[in-house]
């Protein structure tokens, strides 16, 4: 997989996981609760994870669910996303 394709895939996974957990990444950045560097690090953590396919399947099964969900235990960005969803600075 090309490096940019890999990064794009994982940026998409981070964004989808954020939406599923109720973390608004754009609002957090604009509001000063999330630094761009922290978001970049989150994408790179995701890119280094061996559970990308599991994550995609997990997100697909939860897409129809209403309300917030907690990221799976293997998510390397679990604490960050939970914190952002709860309004804790990242």
76, with CB counted inside 10 A (0-12, 13-18, 19+), is middle
Q: How is residue 3 written in tokens? A: 């490096």
DSSP-derived letter for residue 33 is S
pLDDT for residue 75? 97
Q: pTM value?
A: 0.88
Q: What does residue 34 show for φ and ψ, rounded to 5 degrees? A: -140, 125
pLDDT one-digit tens code per residue, 63-87 = 767 677 899 999 999 999 999 998 8
DSSP H or E stretch at residue 3: helix 3-21
**Distance in angstroms (rounded) separating the CA atoms of residues 69 and 20:** 6
DSSP 57-77: HHHHHHTT--S--PPPTT-TT
User: Is 55 in contact with 49 (CB distance < 8 Å)?
Assistant: yes
pLDDT one-digit tens code per residue, 5-16 = 889 999 999 999
């Amino acid at each position: 997989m090309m490096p940019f394709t890999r990064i794009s895939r994982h940026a998409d996974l981070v964004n989808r996981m954020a939406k599923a957990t109720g973390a608004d990444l754009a609002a957090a950045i604009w509001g000063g609760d999330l630094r761009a560097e922290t978001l970049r690090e989150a994408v790179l953590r995701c890119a280094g994870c061996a559970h990308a396919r599991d994550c995609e399947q997990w997100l697909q099964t939860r897409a129809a669910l209403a309300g917030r969900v907690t990221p799976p235990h293997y998510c390397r960005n679990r604490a960050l996303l939970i914190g952002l969803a709860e309004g804790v600075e990242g």
